[in-house]
Structure 1
Amino acid sequence: MIPHQAERYGQRVALLHRDPRTGKWLGISWNAFADRVRLTSQALIEYGIGVQENIGIYAPNMPQYFYTAFGAYGARAVEVPMYPTGSPDQIKYIVRDANIRLLFVGEQQQYNNAYKAQQEMGDTLQKIVIFDRSVVRYPTDETSVFFEEFVRLGDNARAETAARIRRNEATDDNVALIIYTSGTTGEPKGVVITHANFREMMRIHTLRLPMVTERDLSMCFLPLVHIFEKGWTNFCLCRGVRIAINRDPKMIRQTLLEVRPTLMCNVPRFWEKVYAGANERLTRAAGPMQRLLRDALRTGREYVLNYRRTGETPPRTLALKFAFYQKTVYSALKRAVGIERGNIFPVAGAPLSDEIAEFLLSVDIPIVYGYGLSETSATVCCYPTVSYTLGSIGTLMPDIDVRIDPENNEILVRGKTIMREYYRKPEETRRAFTPDGYFRTGDAGRLGEDGCTLFFQERIKDLFKTSNGKYIAPQAIEMSLGGNPYIEQCAVIADERKFVSALIVPAFDALEAHARARGIAFTDRADLIAREDIIRFYRSLIEEAQQHFASFEKIKRFTLLQRPFTIQDGELTDTLKLRRGAIARRYAAEIEAMYKDTEK
């Protein structure tokens, strides 16, 4: 794909990256991109990487990541990406399972972890290639090289000929990618994605999203090991879209304002924060301004949901009001985030609440909500341009077949984007498919009357059963609190318990501002969350958020925590999903205290 696009676009910019020293965004042309990919392919072959051999990439989003991934494809090697936040033990597991002898790393942290893993693994991991020139190598390191040194291996006629032969012998069933699941339960599994899966992914997304064109600029923000970002970025490159590479996730607010992209895929948590910030500004606005903002929301909701969504022509007065708010209220909100030039913003990876989806659409933020998994090469369904159903997870992608298991409402998927297998796990693979070839997603859902609109119900494995025999879907409860400006994280507890409780991490910046505004004195965060008036405040927030839940589903008790759940402490997966077992173990004392004297 990359050489083909280089022939078409030549010196036009393909990739943008931010110089960490100057802060300037630098462009890389399609020709330069293709040349680096070619040299990387040849270097892999010259080093001795065989056809369909696995090579690892353990790095944040960087231009070198792109060169290595596509270079691997060109050499008919297999890309095995790893989360840049992965621990040495996680890296060792993947390196051993995938038998990786060549590992590309990004920055100092990844190098340190990889070198530690290499020292403990004997002969398995033979060489580390480092992307960032500022990385300081260990004095005892005699095998690692920098990326620029490595690619020089391939700058010869013999490697060029060998690479050409390999490309000519490539077939659609060659493996392109093995993505390891984050493993919320059990050990991670390698999801095997072929070039045929990728090609079908490009085809069906081109049919569904024709509005994505070479005029667009996409922000590459999620880690490229995430199938959502990997699939989306490859689709953008297929369409000739420029890619701005966000290297540091903590800088996304700044880089959005610098780049102001027209496209960006993201997870619901990002949009929950946008919603929470906008809601806070709305509640703090003075009387006349607050009335204007509320009218803007009402106008947007009526225009978007009743007319734009259905493809019908709105009344002239409504259209004029919407146009006025587009140029004033909506554009001011979007400019503050850096998304005012938005074409579409795909969102997936976790459930998005109807309330937040409705708000985003009402203020003219063009989200496209969808659903998919690593095993389905990302998208199973997403909102179409018109006639989508709010509350659904979209309509099925072209040529994707879905049915619902009548026994447990599990969503079953069949199509050409479905993974080939779990790597070296034949029994896991067998269990993952029905006898007639449908993949078992592990998610419960239902199809609408049209047979094409899909509704998510719950993650089957996440279902809790209370000691009273009631089933609880914790994600739905957690999602109801996700857009609250005073709540950063929430973990619901209910399994084998008499009632639902929760561990809640406050959004401390907002909470501290709330306390100061009301004259509530506190010495530190521990003191703040222990105050009875703060606990009452959170009790009212929770009650308001769960009005629509049945009594047995409502949070009866909660504990406020001083520190957030983190990937580093093993409480979150690399895709920011809760590791419920790890949280339950770490906070066992706090959980038991919530049930003290209630479950005798």
Structure 2
Amino acid sequence: MNLSRVFDLIPHQISNYDKAIALSKKEDGIWKTYSSKDLKRIVDNLSLAFLSAGIATGDKVAIISENRPEWNFVDFALQQIGAISVPMYPTITSGDYAYIFEHAEVKMIFVGDQEIYTKASEVAGDRVIYSFDQLEGVAHWSILEKKGESGDFAKLEESKSQVKSEDLFTIIYTSGTTGKPKGVMLTHSNVLSNVLSVANTMTPPPGVSKVLSFLPLCHIYERTGSFCFIYLGFSIYYAENMEKIGENLKEVQPHIFNTVPRLLEKVYDKIVAKGYELTGIKKNLFFWALDLGLRFDPATQMGKWYDFQLKLANKIIFSKWREALGGNVMQINSGASALQPRLARVFWAAGIKVCEGYGLTETSPVVSASVGTRDGIRIGYVGKVVKNVQVKIAEDGEILVKGPNVMQGYYKEPEMTAAVLQNGWFYTGDIGELDGEYLKITDRKKEMFKTSGGKYIAPQVIENKFKESALIEQLMVVGDGKNYAAALIVPSFEGLKEYCKRKDIPYLSDSEMIANPKILEKYQEEIDGLNKYFGKWEQIKRFKLLDKPWGIDTGELTPTMKLKRKVIHQKFENEIESIYQA
């Protein structure tokens, strides 16, 4: 079958797999499932309903919802008639909604639940809103689908035939770490080429193959991932929410899932915290296994004695880790930010293949990806550049990308587009190195800063290393224009409580503990121990502990959990100044 438009993936799946469960989501405690043929039927009905509602080629429709099958239904249905989806994060403000509705000229809106509807309706104007949940006074999406059942399917086939691979199929507004979001224009060809390029990095097991999806579909990482899973014949199960991921993993027992490093860090920290709760020989065995794992390198022959010990550790310790992830996980894809090398080592040692990749919304997104084999992984690298994509490193270290996956540009922003697209190359803004086919990311170009002594500092490398401490949850390096580097630190309060318990230090409130001289002394020890990995000009000379974590809702993190450095600088201006005045 010729795949030239994203919606061609539906007949492809029916022809090759005809899944009894293509999509599933828990409703009222029961997994509600849709087969490949259900997916096609509902999507076709919705496409016809859109046509009868006056949605035409090039019209924009917003989708604002948590992950659920209805998200896919609307997305595919719009594609089939040449309309353009505008996915949006449920977590952003009504002001952001208003900006995107106007900038993208959105004609119709789909919302997931009451909370999203309340925000969207405030700024929707006269735009029609449909909901996925049953909401009082709001038209339900099923009403629209029902209208399509009596439509002219010959008309739909004609509409589908007019959609070309080079046509725009979505505008994704990047979350951005500063300023207004930019609308990234992606075609069917952009995304489909990326699906085909990365498909060979994942091999479905024979028979039933399942994936648990919890990263937001409005982000290109999970969206292209979902198209890839459909192409490969995985059944996609949508997690109930972020709090129930652990429970859903045990229920679904997936073979693969996409994640961000932040979630893997939390999983690891919880495992280690439980290890500290053990006593006697069990505790000794746990930390013996952990130490083995932290030394593991999948690309290196570790020796017969090490292999024997690791086999034993897998049997008595790491098997429980795999059970906590459902017992069937063959690969975890990690992206959106840097993965700590120690996490890659220990999970691989535990038989959990964490494969780091790299990409951007503007590249649909995958530029490079790791493969779940020992000869296809290199710790500290973000994998090999994927098929049909070219990468080169500019003189200043910036990563440049060329290929069919590169966006058409930013919607209504020709000057911004011209600044990043030059002679067919996309300027990523990331700094990196190529070692043969393997790509390594060292920092964000815009995030590097210079001290008053003229030395450049790449904060991401330092932050990633310092977060290896069990006592550090979040950290941002500061010091632009100052005479030394310093850091704002959000402690891992769970780790801190465990430390206080071991040292018989009474734990009061979080705010009281970060002012405790013994705690400050311990953090200084942690900083001193980690500083040795960096040059003298990069080392953290002073720090400030904060008593509240940074979050998406409070504005310090993007929806993909990247630091909004400008926001943090503004919110904690006094704390930063106090570091340099002390």
- For the aligned pair, the TM-score class normalised by the smaller chain equals over 0.9
1:374 aligned onto 2:361: yes
Equivalent of 1:335, from 318, 323, 329? Answer: 323
Partners in 2 of 1:299 and 1:584 — Cα distance?
A: 39
1:595 aligned onto 2:571: no
Q: Structure 1: which 5+ runs fail to align? A: 138-143
1:420 aligned onto 2:420: no
Counterparts of 1:230-249 in structure 2 under 5 Å? Answer: 230-249=223-242
**Which residue of the partner structure matches residue 485 of structure 1?**
470
Which stretch shows the higher mean deviation, 522-531 or 75-84? 522-531
1:150 aligned onto 2:144: yes
- SS of residue in 2 equivalent to 1:157: coil
Deviation for aligned residue 1:167: 0.6
**Which residue of the partner structure matches residue 3 of structure 2?**
none
Deviation for aligned residue 1:297: 4.8
Deviation for aligned residue 1:221: 0.8
**Which residue of the partner structure matches residue 563 of structure 1?**
548
Partners in 1 of 2:401 and 2:93 — Cα distance?
A: 33
Counterparts of 1:21-100 in structure 2 under 5 Å? Answer: 21=28, 23-100=29-106
1:128 aligned onto 2:118: no
1:350 aligned onto 2:356: no
Write the letter of the residue equivalent to 1:37: V
Partners in 1 of 2:326 and 2:518 — Cα distance?
A: 38
Question: Any conservation in 1 of the 2:129–2:139 contact (CA below 8 Å)?
Answer: yes
Q: Structure 2: which 5+ runs fail to align? A: 1-8
Question: Any conservation in 1 of the 2:18–2:37 contact (CA below 8 Å)?
Answer: yes
1:494 aligned onto 2:479: yes
Q: Closer, same or farther in 2 for the Cα pair 1:547/1:380, shift >3 Å? A: same
Question: Any conservation in 2 of the 1:400–1:413 contact (CA below 8 Å)?
Answer: yes
Deviation for aligned residue 1:477: 1.7
- SS of residue in 2 equivalent to 1:530: coil
Partners in 2 of 1:433 and 1:526 — Cα distance?
A: 47
Question: Any conservation in 2 of the 1:480–1:546 contact (CA below 8 Å)?
Answer: no
Partners in 2 of 1:212 and 1:594 — Cα distance?
A: 54
TM-score calculated relative to the size of structure 2: 0.93
**Which residue of the partner structure matches residue 141 of structure 1?**
none
Equivalent of 2:21, from 13, 37, 49? Answer: 13
Q: Closer, same or farther in 2 for the Cα pair 1:256/1:168, shift >3 Å? A: same
Question: Any conservation in 1 of the 2:81–2:163 contact (CA below 8 Å)?
Answer: no
1:404 aligned onto 2:393: yes
Partners in 1 of 2:227 and 2:43 — Cα distance?
A: 14
Question: Any conservation in 2 of the 1:506–1:561 contact (CA below 8 Å)?
Answer: yes
1:274 aligned onto 2:267: yes
Q: CA RMSD for the aligned pairs?
A: 2.2
Deviation for aligned residue 1:26: 2.5
Q: Closer, same or farther in 2 for the Cα pair 1:69/1:405, shift >3 Å? A: same
Write the letter of the residue equivalent to 1:57: I
Partners in 1 of 2:548 and 2:488 — Cα distance?
A: 11
Write the letter of the residue equivalent to 2:21: V
Equivalent of 1:438, from 417, 425, 439? Answer: 425
- SS of residue in 1 equivalent to 2:378: coil
Partners in 1 of 2:206 and 2:358 — Cα distance?
A: 22
Question: Any conservation in 2 of the 1:45–1:162 contact (CA below 8 Å)?
Answer: no
Question: Any conservation in 2 of the 1:47–1:153 contact (CA below 8 Å)?
Answer: no
Partners in 1 of 2:466 and 2:326 — Cα distance?
A: 25
Q: Closer, same or farther in 2 for the Cα pair 1:211/1:156, shift >3 Å? A: closer
Write the letter of the residue equivalent to 1:154: G
- In the comparison of the two structures, how many residue pairs are matched? 572
Partners in 1 of 2:550 and 2:460 — Cα distance?
A: 16
Partners in 2 of 1:587 and 1:129 — Cα distance?
A: 40
Q: Closer, same or farther in 2 for the Cα pair 1:422/1:483, shift >3 Å? A: same
**Which residue of the partner structure matches residue 255 of structure 1?**
248
Partners in 1 of 2:461 and 2:132 — Cα distance?
A: 41
The Cα offsets for residues 434-475 of structure 1, whole Å up to 9 and x where unpaired, read as 2x2111000011111x2x111111100011211221111111
Counterparts of 1:514-533 in structure 2 under 5 Å? Answer: 514-533=499-518
TM-score calculated relative to the size of structure 1: 0.90
Q: Closer, same or farther in 2 for the Cα pair 1:7/1:421, shift >3 Å? A: same
**Which residue of the partner structure matches residue 113 of structure 1?**
119
Equivalent of 2:195, from 194, 202, 212? Answer: 202
**Which residue of the partner structure matches residue 347 of structure 2?**
360
**Which residue of the partner structure matches residue 171 of structure 1?**
164
